[in-house]
Structure 1
Protein backbone atom coordinates (compact mmCIF):
# COMPACT_ATOMS: atom_id res chain seq x y z
CA UNK A 1 0.00 0.00 0.00
CA UNK A 2 1.15 3.55 -0.65
CA UNK A 3 2.41 5.51 2.31
CA UNK A 4 -0.04 8.22 3.36
CA UNK A 5 2.63 10.26 5.14
CA UNK A 6 5.07 12.26 2.98
CA UNK A 7 8.53 10.73 2.92
CA UNK A 8 11.95 12.26 2.50
CA UNK A 9 13.53 10.49 -0.45
CA UNK A 10 17.12 10.95 -1.65
CA UNK A 11 17.76 9.93 -5.27
CA UNK A 12 21.28 9.91 -6.68
CA UNK A 13 21.79 10.10 -10.43
CA UNK A 14 18.61 12.17 -10.57
CA UNK A 15 19.61 14.87 -13.04
CA UNK A 16 18.51 12.72 -15.98
CA UNK A 17 17.00 9.38 -16.97
CA UNK A 18 15.11 7.20 -14.54
CA UNK A 19 16.37 9.19 -11.53
CA UNK A 20 14.80 12.39 -12.84
CA UNK A 21 11.64 10.51 -13.83
CA UNK A 22 11.37 9.00 -10.34
CA UNK A 23 11.88 12.43 -8.77
CA UNK A 24 8.95 13.82 -10.79
CA UNK A 25 6.66 10.89 -10.00
CA UNK A 26 7.45 10.88 -6.29
CA UNK A 27 7.09 14.64 -5.89
CA UNK A 28 3.73 14.48 -7.67
CA UNK A 29 2.69 11.90 -5.07
CA UNK A 30 3.48 14.41 -2.31
CA UNK A 31 6.91 13.25 -1.18
CA UNK A 32 9.93 15.45 -0.50
CA UNK A 33 12.68 14.61 -2.96
CA UNK A 34 16.37 15.44 -2.69
CA UNK A 35 17.80 15.46 -6.21
CA UNK A 36 21.47 14.45 -6.39
CA UNK A 37 23.44 14.74 -9.61
CA UNK A 38 26.83 15.48 -11.09
CA UNK A 39 25.86 18.30 -13.47
CA UNK A 40 25.00 21.45 -11.49
CA UNK A 41 22.67 23.00 -14.08
CA UNK A 42 20.72 19.84 -14.87
CA UNK A 43 20.47 18.87 -11.21
CA UNK A 44 19.16 22.31 -10.22
CA UNK A 45 16.67 22.27 -13.10
CA UNK A 46 15.17 18.92 -12.06
CA UNK A 47 14.99 20.02 -8.42
CA UNK A 48 13.26 23.24 -9.43
CA UNK A 49 10.75 21.32 -11.54
CA UNK A 50 9.87 18.95 -8.69
CA UNK A 51 9.99 21.53 -5.92
CA UNK A 52 12.82 19.72 -4.16
CA UNK A 53 16.35 20.39 -2.94
CA UNK A 54 19.38 19.72 -5.08
CA UNK A 55 22.86 18.48 -4.20
CA UNK A 56 25.84 18.20 -6.54
CA UNK A 57 28.42 15.44 -6.25
CA UNK A 58 30.80 13.71 -8.65
CA UNK A 59 31.08 10.07 -7.65
CA UNK A 60 34.51 9.78 -9.23
CA UNK A 61 35.66 11.78 -6.19
CA UNK A 62 35.05 10.19 -2.80
CA UNK A 63 35.62 13.58 -1.18
CA UNK A 64 32.44 14.70 -2.98
CA UNK A 65 30.59 11.73 -1.53
CA UNK A 66 31.72 12.59 1.98
CA UNK A 67 30.65 16.21 1.50
CA UNK A 68 27.30 15.07 0.09
CA UNK A 69 26.67 12.83 3.10
CA UNK A 70 27.38 15.70 5.48
CA UNK A 71 25.07 18.03 3.54
CA UNK A 72 22.24 15.49 3.52
CA UNK A 73 22.73 14.77 7.20
CA UNK A 74 22.52 18.49 8.00
CA UNK A 75 19.54 19.11 5.70
CA UNK A 76 17.14 16.41 6.89
CA UNK A 77 16.17 15.23 10.37
CA UNK A 78 15.22 11.90 8.80
CA UNK A 79 15.73 10.11 5.49
CA UNK A 80 13.06 7.56 4.69
CA UNK A 81 14.46 6.29 1.40
CA UNK A 82 17.96 6.38 -0.07
CA UNK A 83 17.87 5.43 -3.75
CA UNK A 84 21.40 4.64 -4.92
CA UNK A 85 20.63 5.16 -8.59
CA UNK A 86 23.79 6.86 -9.92
CA UNK A 87 25.98 4.77 -12.18
CA UNK A 88 26.35 3.58 -15.70
CA UNK A 89 28.32 1.76 -18.35
CA UNK A 90 31.49 3.83 -18.61
CA UNK A 91 34.31 3.98 -21.13
CA UNK A 92 37.84 2.68 -21.30
CA UNK A 93 39.71 1.65 -18.20
CA UNK A 94 40.58 4.65 -16.03
CA UNK A 95 41.52 5.33 -12.42
CA UNK A 96 39.80 7.92 -10.27
CA UNK A 97 41.67 10.45 -8.16
CA UNK A 98 41.12 7.99 -5.29
CA UNK A 99 42.99 5.25 -7.16
CA UNK A 100 40.06 2.96 -7.96
CA UNK A 101 38.85 1.72 -11.32
CA UNK A 102 36.19 4.25 -12.35
CA UNK A 103 33.27 1.87 -13.00
CA UNK A 104 33.79 0.20 -9.63
CA UNK A 105 33.88 3.50 -7.79
CA UNK A 106 30.92 5.21 -9.45
CA UNK A 107 28.61 2.19 -9.38
CA UNK A 108 29.60 0.54 -6.10
CA UNK A 109 32.17 2.18 -3.85
CA UNK A 110 30.57 5.65 -3.88
CA UNK A 111 27.05 4.43 -2.98
CA UNK A 112 28.56 2.06 -0.42
CA UNK A 113 30.35 5.00 1.20
CA UNK A 114 27.29 7.28 1.04
CA UNK A 115 25.11 4.64 2.66
CA UNK A 116 27.68 3.98 5.36
CA UNK A 117 28.09 7.64 6.23
CA UNK A 118 24.31 8.06 6.50
CA UNK A 119 23.76 4.76 8.26
CA UNK A 120 22.91 6.13 11.72
CA UNK A 121 20.23 8.40 10.24
CA UNK A 122 18.90 5.64 8.01
CA UNK A 123 18.61 3.28 10.97
CA UNK A 124 16.91 5.91 13.11
CA UNK A 125 14.46 6.52 10.24
CA UNK A 126 13.85 2.79 9.66
CA UNK A 127 14.66 3.59 6.05
CA UNK A 128 14.70 1.68 2.80
CA UNK A 129 17.89 1.58 0.72
CA UNK A 130 17.32 0.89 -2.96
CA UNK A 131 19.99 -0.06 -5.50
CA UNK A 132 19.52 0.38 -9.25
CA UNK A 133 21.20 -2.77 -10.52
CA UNK A 134 20.95 -4.52 -13.88
CA UNK A 135 20.44 -7.86 -15.56
CA UNK A 136 23.95 -7.17 -16.84
CA UNK A 137 25.10 -8.60 -13.51
CA UNK A 138 23.98 -12.02 -14.66
CA UNK A 139 25.30 -11.65 -18.20
CA UNK A 140 28.67 -9.95 -17.76
CA UNK A 141 29.53 -9.96 -14.06
CA UNK A 142 32.07 -12.00 -12.15
CA UNK A 143 33.30 -10.91 -8.76
CA UNK A 144 36.80 -11.57 -7.48
CA UNK A 145 37.22 -9.72 -4.17
CA UNK A 146 40.99 -9.83 -4.66
CA UNK A 147 40.69 -8.05 -8.03
CA UNK A 148 37.83 -5.57 -7.75
CA UNK A 149 39.54 -3.31 -10.32
CA UNK A 150 39.60 -6.10 -12.93
CA UNK A 151 43.33 -5.67 -13.41
CA UNK A 152 43.48 -9.11 -14.98
CA UNK A 153 40.42 -9.10 -17.23
CA UNK A 154 39.03 -5.60 -17.74
CA UNK A 155 36.42 -4.81 -20.36
CA UNK A 156 33.84 -2.03 -19.98
CA UNK A 157 30.97 -4.53 -19.98
CA UNK A 158 32.65 -6.89 -17.50
CA UNK A 159 33.37 -4.02 -15.11
CA UNK A 160 29.79 -2.79 -15.40
CA UNK A 161 28.26 -6.25 -14.94
CA UNK A 162 30.42 -6.90 -11.89
CA UNK A 163 29.51 -3.54 -10.37
CA UNK A 164 25.81 -4.35 -10.81
CA UNK A 165 26.46 -7.73 -9.17
CA UNK A 166 28.10 -5.85 -6.30
CA UNK A 167 24.93 -3.74 -5.97
CA UNK A 168 22.93 -6.91 -5.38
CA UNK A 169 25.43 -8.37 -2.91
CA UNK A 170 25.49 -5.03 -1.08
CA UNK A 171 21.70 -5.24 -0.83
CA UNK A 172 21.75 -8.71 0.70
CA UNK A 173 24.50 -7.81 3.16
CA UNK A 174 22.72 -4.62 4.22
CA UNK A 175 19.72 -6.78 5.02
CA UNK A 176 21.75 -9.33 6.94
CA UNK A 177 23.53 -6.75 9.07
CA UNK A 178 20.76 -4.24 9.73
CA UNK A 179 17.30 -5.59 8.95
CA UNK A 180 16.71 -6.48 12.61
CA UNK A 181 17.29 -2.76 13.36
CA UNK A 182 14.54 -1.72 10.94
CA UNK A 183 16.47 -1.18 7.71
CA UNK A 184 15.07 -2.60 4.46
CA UNK A 185 16.96 -3.04 1.20
CA UNK A 186 16.22 -4.11 -2.36
CA UNK A 187 17.85 -4.01 -5.77
CA UNK A 188 16.17 -3.95 -9.16
CA UNK A 189 16.75 -4.05 -12.91
CA UNK A 190 14.98 -1.12 -14.59
CA UNK A 191 14.95 -2.79 -18.00
CA UNK A 192 16.38 -1.44 -21.21
CA UNK A 193 15.66 2.27 -20.96
CA UNK A 194 16.19 5.04 -23.51
CA UNK A 195 18.53 7.19 -21.42
CA UNK A 196 22.13 8.40 -21.56
CA UNK A 197 23.49 5.85 -19.10
CA UNK A 198 26.07 4.55 -21.62
CA UNK A 199 26.96 7.98 -22.99
CA UNK A 200 30.53 7.84 -21.64
CA UNK A 201 31.22 4.32 -22.84
CA UNK A 202 32.80 2.88 -25.94
CA UNK A 203 30.04 0.27 -26.14
CA UNK A 204 28.75 -0.44 -29.65
CA UNK A 205 25.25 -0.21 -28.13
CA UNK A 206 25.75 3.41 -27.02
CA UNK A 207 23.99 5.07 -29.99
CA UNK A 208 20.95 2.82 -29.49
CA UNK A 209 19.92 4.45 -26.22
CA UNK A 210 19.37 7.88 -27.82
CA UNK A 211 18.32 6.83 -31.33
CA UNK A 212 14.84 6.85 -32.80
CA UNK A 213 15.06 3.10 -33.38
CA UNK A 214 16.15 2.52 -29.79
CA UNK A 215 13.22 4.49 -28.47
CA UNK A 216 10.87 2.18 -30.35
CA UNK A 217 12.15 -0.86 -28.47
CA UNK A 218 13.38 0.53 -25.16
CA UNK A 219 11.31 1.62 -22.19
CA UNK A 220 10.77 5.27 -21.35
CA UNK A 221 12.52 6.71 -18.29
CA UNK A 222 9.12 6.77 -16.54
CA UNK A 223 8.64 3.05 -17.18
CA UNK A 224 12.17 2.33 -16.02
CA UNK A 225 11.57 4.35 -12.84
CA UNK A 226 8.37 2.51 -11.94
CA UNK A 227 10.04 -0.09 -9.73
CA UNK A 228 12.11 2.50 -7.87
CA UNK A 229 8.95 4.54 -7.29
CA UNK A 230 7.12 1.47 -6.03
CA UNK A 231 9.83 0.68 -3.47
CA UNK A 232 9.97 4.30 -2.33
CA UNK A 233 6.20 4.74 -1.93
CA UNK A 234 5.20 1.43 -0.39
CA UNK A 235 5.93 -0.69 2.66
CA UNK A 236 8.73 -3.28 2.88
CA UNK A 237 7.52 -6.56 4.28
CA UNK A 238 4.03 -5.82 2.97
CA UNK A 239 4.41 -4.70 -0.64
CA UNK A 240 7.91 -5.98 -1.32
CA UNK A 241 10.52 -8.19 0.30
CA UNK A 242 13.74 -6.85 1.74
CA UNK A 243 16.99 -8.57 0.70
CA UNK A 244 15.75 -9.36 -2.81
CA UNK A 245 16.67 -8.44 -6.37
CA UNK A 246 13.71 -7.63 -8.64
CA UNK A 247 13.15 -7.80 -12.38
CA UNK A 248 9.88 -6.78 -14.06
CA UNK A 249 8.29 -6.06 -10.72
CA UNK A 250 8.94 -9.52 -9.28
CA UNK A 251 11.71 -11.23 -7.36
CA UNK A 252 14.09 -12.39 -10.08
CA UNK A 253 14.05 -16.11 -10.76
CA UNK A 254 17.33 -16.14 -12.70
CA UNK A 255 20.32 -14.61 -10.95
CA UNK A 256 24.08 -14.85 -11.13
CA UNK A 257 25.24 -17.84 -9.01
CA UNK A 258 27.43 -15.53 -6.91
CA UNK A 259 24.32 -13.68 -5.69
CA UNK A 260 23.63 -16.66 -3.40
CA UNK A 261 27.11 -16.65 -1.86
CA UNK A 262 26.65 -15.13 1.60
CA UNK A 263 30.35 -15.37 2.43
CA UNK A 264 31.20 -13.47 -0.76
CA UNK A 265 28.76 -10.71 0.23
CA UNK A 266 30.45 -10.41 3.63
CA UNK A 267 33.92 -10.30 2.10
CA UNK A 268 32.85 -7.69 -0.45
CA UNK A 269 31.48 -5.51 2.35
CA UNK A 270 34.67 -5.76 4.39
CA UNK A 271 36.91 -5.07 1.38
CA UNK A 272 34.75 -2.12 0.29
CA UNK A 273 34.88 -0.64 3.77
CA UNK A 274 38.66 -0.97 3.72
CA UNK A 275 38.92 0.74 0.32
CA UNK A 276 36.77 3.76 1.22
CA UNK A 277 38.06 4.09 4.78
CA UNK A 278 34.98 3.41 6.89
CA UNK A 279 34.32 0.97 9.69
CA UNK A 280 33.06 -2.40 8.50
CA UNK A 281 30.13 -2.21 10.99
Structure 2
Protein backbone atom coordinates (compact mmCIF):
# COMPACT_ATOMS: atom_id res chain seq x y z
CA UNK A 1 0.00 0.00 0.00
CA UNK A 2 1.24 3.48 -0.89
CA UNK A 3 -0.11 6.70 0.62
CA UNK A 4 0.39 10.33 -0.36
CA UNK A 5 -0.08 12.58 2.66
CA UNK A 6 0.76 16.09 3.85
CA UNK A 7 1.56 15.29 7.47
CA UNK A 8 3.32 12.34 9.10
CA UNK A 9 0.95 9.44 9.60
CA UNK A 10 0.21 7.94 12.99
CA UNK A 11 2.97 6.22 14.93
CA UNK A 12 0.69 3.36 15.96
CA UNK A 13 2.67 0.11 16.32
CA UNK A 14 0.83 -1.68 13.50
CA UNK A 15 1.44 1.23 11.13
CA UNK A 16 5.13 1.40 12.00
CA UNK A 17 5.42 -2.35 11.57
CA UNK A 18 3.80 -2.13 8.13
CA UNK A 19 6.25 0.59 7.10
CA UNK A 20 9.25 -1.38 8.33
CA UNK A 21 8.06 -4.47 6.47
CA UNK A 22 7.55 -2.49 3.25
CA UNK A 23 3.80 -3.12 3.18
CA UNK A 24 3.15 0.62 3.64
CA UNK A 25 5.07 3.20 1.63
CA UNK A 26 4.60 6.89 2.43
CA UNK A 27 5.05 9.85 0.09
CA UNK A 28 4.76 13.44 1.32
CA UNK A 29 3.38 16.56 -0.37
CA UNK A 30 1.43 19.72 0.30
CA UNK A 31 -1.59 18.87 -1.83
CA UNK A 32 -2.54 22.53 -2.17
CA UNK A 33 0.82 23.40 -3.78
CA UNK A 34 1.28 22.12 -7.34
CA UNK A 35 5.08 22.19 -7.17
CA UNK A 36 5.13 20.04 -4.04
CA UNK A 37 2.48 17.75 -5.50
CA UNK A 38 4.30 17.44 -8.82
CA UNK A 39 7.55 16.40 -7.15
CA UNK A 40 5.81 13.76 -5.03
CA UNK A 41 3.86 12.38 -7.98
CA UNK A 42 7.01 12.01 -10.05
CA UNK A 43 8.48 9.81 -7.32
CA UNK A 44 5.26 7.91 -6.63
CA UNK A 45 4.56 7.15 -10.29
CA UNK A 46 8.10 5.87 -10.74
CA UNK A 47 8.13 3.64 -7.66
CA UNK A 48 4.52 2.39 -7.87
CA UNK A 49 4.07 1.24 -11.50
CA UNK A 50 0.87 -0.66 -10.70
CA UNK A 51 -1.98 0.79 -8.59
CA UNK A 52 -4.98 -1.52 -8.15
CA UNK A 53 -7.22 1.07 -6.47
CA UNK A 54 -6.60 4.80 -6.35
CA UNK A 55 -8.39 6.30 -3.34
CA UNK A 56 -8.71 10.09 -3.41
CA UNK A 57 -9.56 10.70 0.23
CA UNK A 58 -7.91 13.99 1.24
CA UNK A 59 -10.19 16.93 1.99
CA UNK A 60 -10.25 20.30 3.71
CA UNK A 61 -13.11 22.26 5.25
CA UNK A 62 -11.75 25.49 6.75
CA UNK A 63 -13.90 27.87 8.73
CA UNK A 64 -12.79 30.89 6.72
CA UNK A 65 -11.99 31.80 3.13
CA UNK A 66 -8.50 30.52 2.33
CA UNK A 67 -6.59 30.18 -0.93
CA UNK A 68 -4.08 27.68 -2.30
CA UNK A 69 -0.58 28.39 -3.56
CA UNK A 70 -2.20 28.73 -7.00
CA UNK A 71 -4.56 31.44 -5.64
CA UNK A 72 -7.74 29.37 -5.84
CA UNK A 73 -10.23 28.83 -3.02
CA UNK A 74 -8.81 26.05 -0.87
CA UNK A 75 -11.81 23.67 -0.81
CA UNK A 76 -12.08 23.78 -4.59
CA UNK A 77 -8.34 23.24 -5.00
CA UNK A 78 -7.89 20.32 -2.60
CA UNK A 79 -11.31 18.66 -2.80
CA UNK A 80 -12.00 19.09 -6.53
CA UNK A 81 -8.92 19.94 -8.58
CA UNK A 82 -6.27 17.82 -6.84
CA UNK A 83 -8.24 14.55 -7.15
CA UNK A 84 -8.47 15.27 -10.88
CA UNK A 85 -4.73 15.88 -11.08
CA UNK A 86 -4.05 12.62 -9.22
CA UNK A 87 -6.47 10.67 -11.40
CA UNK A 88 -4.98 12.00 -14.63
CA UNK A 89 -1.39 11.66 -13.52
CA UNK A 90 -1.76 8.13 -12.14
CA UNK A 91 -4.23 6.72 -14.68
CA UNK A 92 -1.45 4.80 -16.49
CA UNK A 93 -0.45 3.16 -13.19
CA UNK A 94 -4.07 2.23 -12.44
CA UNK A 95 -4.55 0.88 -15.97
CA UNK A 96 -1.41 -1.23 -15.43
CA UNK A 97 -3.06 -3.11 -12.53
CA UNK A 98 -5.51 -5.94 -12.08
CA UNK A 99 -8.44 -4.11 -10.44
CA UNK A 100 -8.21 -0.79 -12.32
CA UNK A 101 -10.42 1.19 -9.93
CA UNK A 102 -10.63 4.84 -8.81
CA UNK A 103 -12.69 5.85 -5.78
CA UNK A 104 -13.22 9.46 -4.69
CA UNK A 105 -14.42 10.30 -1.18
CA UNK A 106 -17.32 12.71 -1.63
CA UNK A 107 -20.05 13.86 0.78
CA UNK A 108 -23.81 13.90 1.07
CA UNK A 109 -23.40 17.61 1.88
CA UNK A 110 -23.56 18.08 -1.89
CA UNK A 111 -27.28 17.31 -1.77
CA UNK A 112 -27.82 20.62 0.04
CA UNK A 113 -26.17 22.86 -2.56
CA UNK A 114 -28.78 25.42 -3.64
CA UNK A 115 -26.89 27.27 -6.38
CA UNK A 116 -23.92 26.13 -8.41
CA UNK A 117 -21.74 28.01 -10.89
CA UNK A 118 -18.60 26.11 -11.96
CA UNK A 119 -16.83 29.26 -13.13
CA UNK A 120 -17.07 30.83 -9.65
CA UNK A 121 -15.74 27.91 -7.62
CA UNK A 122 -12.12 29.07 -7.78
CA UNK A 123 -12.92 32.62 -6.68
CA UNK A 124 -16.25 32.70 -4.82
CA UNK A 125 -18.00 35.95 -4.07
CA UNK A 126 -20.35 36.92 -1.28
CA UNK A 127 -20.37 35.65 2.29
CA UNK A 128 -18.23 32.57 2.89
CA UNK A 129 -20.25 29.58 4.06
CA UNK A 130 -17.99 26.71 5.21
CA UNK A 131 -19.79 23.35 5.31
CA UNK A 132 -22.83 23.92 3.11
CA UNK A 133 -21.08 26.49 0.94
CA UNK A 134 -17.52 26.00 -0.29
CA UNK A 135 -17.09 22.46 1.08
CA UNK A 136 -20.39 21.11 -0.25
CA UNK A 137 -19.88 22.77 -3.64
CA UNK A 138 -16.37 21.34 -3.92
CA UNK A 139 -17.64 17.83 -3.24
CA UNK A 140 -20.47 18.29 -5.73
CA UNK A 141 -17.93 19.41 -8.33
CA UNK A 142 -15.81 16.33 -7.54
CA UNK A 143 -18.72 13.95 -8.08
CA UNK A 144 -19.84 15.79 -11.22
CA UNK A 145 -16.50 15.54 -12.98
CA UNK A 146 -16.23 11.91 -11.85
CA UNK A 147 -19.46 11.27 -13.71
CA UNK A 148 -18.34 13.22 -16.78
CA UNK A 149 -14.92 11.53 -16.98
CA UNK A 150 -16.17 7.98 -16.47
CA UNK A 151 -16.58 7.03 -20.13
CA UNK A 152 -13.10 8.23 -21.04
CA UNK A 153 -11.50 6.30 -18.17
CA UNK A 154 -13.41 3.19 -19.19
CA UNK A 155 -11.55 3.16 -22.52
CA UNK A 156 -8.45 2.37 -20.42
CA UNK A 157 -10.35 -0.33 -18.54
CA UNK A 158 -10.65 1.90 -15.46
CA UNK A 159 -13.88 2.09 -13.46
CA UNK A 160 -14.56 5.00 -11.13
CA UNK A 161 -17.12 6.14 -8.56
CA UNK A 162 -17.48 8.78 -5.86
CA UNK A 163 -18.88 7.75 -2.49
CA UNK A 164 -20.03 9.32 0.77
CA UNK A 165 -18.45 7.79 3.90
CA UNK A 166 -21.26 9.10 6.08
CA UNK A 167 -20.91 11.18 9.26
CA UNK A 168 -17.68 10.15 10.96
CA UNK A 169 -15.55 11.54 13.78
CA UNK A 170 -12.49 12.89 12.00
CA UNK A 171 -10.25 15.95 12.35
CA UNK A 172 -12.37 17.55 9.63
CA UNK A 173 -15.64 17.14 11.54
CA UNK A 174 -13.94 18.59 14.62
CA UNK A 175 -12.58 21.61 12.76
CA UNK A 176 -13.71 25.23 12.65
CA UNK A 177 -15.46 24.51 9.36
CA UNK A 178 -18.23 22.65 11.17
CA UNK A 179 -21.18 24.77 12.40
CA UNK A 180 -21.13 24.53 16.19
CA UNK A 181 -24.55 22.79 16.53
CA UNK A 182 -23.43 20.07 14.12
CA UNK A 183 -20.07 19.86 15.85
CA UNK A 184 -21.90 19.15 19.09
CA UNK A 185 -23.96 16.44 17.39
CA UNK A 186 -20.78 14.97 15.90
CA UNK A 187 -19.28 14.39 19.34
CA UNK A 188 -22.12 12.08 20.33
CA UNK A 189 -23.70 10.66 17.17
CA UNK A 190 -21.08 10.51 14.44
CA UNK A 191 -19.52 7.10 13.78
CA UNK A 192 -15.87 6.13 14.24
CA UNK A 193 -13.72 6.54 11.11
CA UNK A 194 -13.64 2.79 10.46
CA UNK A 195 -17.34 2.92 9.51
CA UNK A 196 -16.72 5.46 6.78
CA UNK A 197 -13.60 3.62 5.68
CA UNK A 198 -15.71 0.48 5.33
CA UNK A 199 -18.13 2.25 3.00
CA UNK A 200 -15.32 3.59 0.85
CA UNK A 201 -13.71 0.13 0.76
CA UNK A 202 -17.04 -1.38 -0.31
CA UNK A 203 -17.25 1.18 -3.11
CA UNK A 204 -13.80 0.08 -4.24
CA UNK A 205 -14.90 -3.55 -4.45
CA UNK A 206 -17.75 -2.58 -6.76
CA UNK A 207 -21.26 -3.94 -7.05
CA UNK A 208 -23.11 -5.44 -10.01
CA UNK A 209 -25.37 -2.93 -11.70
CA UNK A 210 -23.59 0.19 -10.42
CA UNK A 211 -22.94 2.42 -13.45
CA UNK A 212 -19.46 3.78 -13.96
CA UNK A 213 -19.13 7.31 -12.55
CA UNK A 214 -21.93 6.92 -10.01
CA UNK A 215 -22.24 8.75 -6.70
CA UNK A 216 -22.93 6.30 -3.86
CA UNK A 217 -24.52 6.79 -0.45
CA UNK A 218 -24.54 3.61 1.66
CA UNK A 219 -23.80 1.67 -1.51
CA UNK A 220 -26.83 3.06 -3.34
CA UNK A 221 -26.60 5.07 -6.55
CA UNK A 222 -27.76 8.60 -5.77
CA UNK A 223 -28.64 11.22 -8.42
CA UNK A 224 -26.51 14.35 -8.37
CA UNK A 225 -27.99 17.84 -8.28
CA UNK A 226 -26.92 20.12 -11.13
CA UNK A 227 -26.04 17.08 -13.25
CA UNK A 228 -26.31 19.28 -16.35
CA UNK A 229 -23.13 21.05 -15.15
CA UNK A 230 -20.96 17.91 -15.13
CA UNK A 231 -19.22 18.64 -18.42
CA UNK A 232 -18.65 22.27 -17.47
CA UNK A 233 -16.92 21.19 -14.25
CA UNK A 234 -14.81 18.67 -16.14
CA UNK A 235 -13.79 21.35 -18.63
CA UNK A 236 -12.84 23.67 -15.76
CA UNK A 237 -10.61 21.21 -13.90
CA UNK A 238 -9.09 19.79 -17.07
CA UNK A 239 -8.19 23.29 -18.20
CA UNK A 240 -6.39 23.89 -14.90
CA UNK A 241 -4.58 20.57 -15.24
CA UNK A 242 -3.42 21.32 -18.77
CA UNK A 243 -2.40 24.93 -18.15
CA UNK A 244 -0.73 24.58 -14.77
CA UNK A 245 0.25 21.00 -14.12
CA UNK A 246 1.46 19.60 -17.43
CA UNK A 247 2.66 22.59 -19.47
CA UNK A 248 4.67 25.66 -18.52
CA UNK A 249 4.41 29.16 -20.00
CA UNK A 250 6.68 28.39 -22.94
CA UNK A 251 4.47 25.51 -24.02
CA UNK A 252 6.96 22.79 -23.14
CA UNK A 253 6.09 19.86 -20.94
CA UNK A 254 6.91 20.87 -17.38
CA UNK A 255 5.13 18.65 -14.92
CA UNK A 256 3.71 15.71 -16.81
CA UNK A 257 4.05 12.63 -14.68
CA UNK A 258 5.31 9.59 -16.56
CA UNK A 259 4.29 6.21 -15.19
CA UNK A 260 7.23 4.35 -16.63
- 1:34 corresponds in structure 2 to 2
1: CA distance, partners of 2:80 / 2:110: 13
- Say yes or no: does 1:155 pair with 2:129: yes
| C-alpha distance 240-146 of structure 1, shift in aligned 2 (>3 A) | closer
How far apart are residue 244 of structure 1 and its match?
0.4
TM-score (norm 1): 0.75
| C-alpha distance 214-147 of structure 1, shift in aligned 2 (>3 A) | closer
Aligned residues: 240
| C-alpha distance 274-145 of structure 1, shift in aligned 2 (>3 A) | farther
1: CA distance, partners of 2:168 / 2:243: 32
- 2:169 corresponds in structure 1 to 194
1: CA distance, partners of 2:86 / 2:110: 22
- 1:182 corresponds in structure 2 to 157
How far apart are residue 215 of structure 1 and its match?
4.3
1: CA distance, partners of 2:35 / 2:94: 21
For the aligned residue pairs, the C-alpha RMSD in angstroms reads 2.7
| Native 8 Å contact 2:110 2:136 kept in 1 | yes
How far apart are residue 104 of structure 1 and its match?
1.1
2: CA distance, partners of 1:67 / 1:44: 27
How far apart are residue 241 of structure 1 and its match?
3.5
Structure 2 residues without counterparts, runs of 5 or longer: 248-260
- Which of residues 242, 245, 268 in structure 1 aligns to 2:236? 268
TM-score (norm 2): 0.80
How far apart are residue 116 of structure 1 and its match?
1.5
How far apart are residue 197 of structure 1 and its match?
1.1
| Native 8 Å contact 2:63 2:178 kept in 1 | yes
2:30 aligned counterpart, secondary structure = coil
| C-alpha distance 265-98 of structure 1, shift in aligned 2 (>3 A) | closer
- Which of residues 132, 135, 150 in structure 1 aligns to 2:105? 132
| Native 8 Å contact 1:89 1:103 kept in 2 | yes
How far apart are residue 129 of structure 1 and its match?
0.9
| C-alpha distance 46-96 of structure 1, shift in aligned 2 (>3 A) | farther
| C-alpha distance 46-88 of structure 1, shift in aligned 2 (>3 A) | farther
